Structure 1
Amino acid sequence: MGFMDTLKGLFGKGQQLASEHSDKIEGAIDKAGDIVDQKTGGKYAQHVDKAQDAAKKVIPPKQ
């Protein structure tokens, strides 16, 4: 098994785990955004919300 095959296998396993735990990942994204908003006094809330939405779009749907 070559290096690329190993990477493909790890990537597939990562996608599977992300799919299984998508609700927890989305919760972590929300929590991180809340912390940033709190630390910046909401000054960048619009940008944080946009980043949160983009991050959530990358998470594979729950199977």
Structure 2
Amino acid sequence: MGFLDNLKAKLAPAKDKVSDLAQQHGDKIEQGLDKAAQTVDSKTKGKYSDKIGTGTDKAKDALGRLSNKEDGTGTPPPAA
């Protein structure tokens, strides 16, 4: 096994834990992202609104990918 394989194996439990937390608290995390984006936007007086919006959208997309555990077929499991 190479170095990266060992690292991936050791980080797998942490990834599972983060995924579980994202599933449980995704709505709160998104609210926090929105609040942070609004605060930064107001502090910069709207100068970077487009960049802040883009960053917030990318963070929400990443959160969505983390919270959807895939079933091995490339599609997220159906909602329960």
Q: Same fold (TM over 0.5)?
A: yes
Secondary structure of 1:33's aligned partner: helix
Deviation at 1:5, TM superposition (A): 4.0
Q: What is the TM-score when the length of structure 1 is the normalising length?
A: 0.83
* Bigger relative contact order (CA 8 A; separation at least 6): 1
Hey, which of these two has a bigger chunk of helix by percent? 1
Amino acid at match of 1:51: G
| Moved segments of 4+, more than 2 Å | 2-6
Quote the RMSD (CA, aligned, Å).
1.8
The higher radius of gyration belongs to 2
TM-score, reference length from structure 2: 0.67
Q: Find the aligned partners of 1:18 and 1:44 in 2 and give their Cα distance.
A: 28
The sequence identity of aligned pairs, in percent, is 36
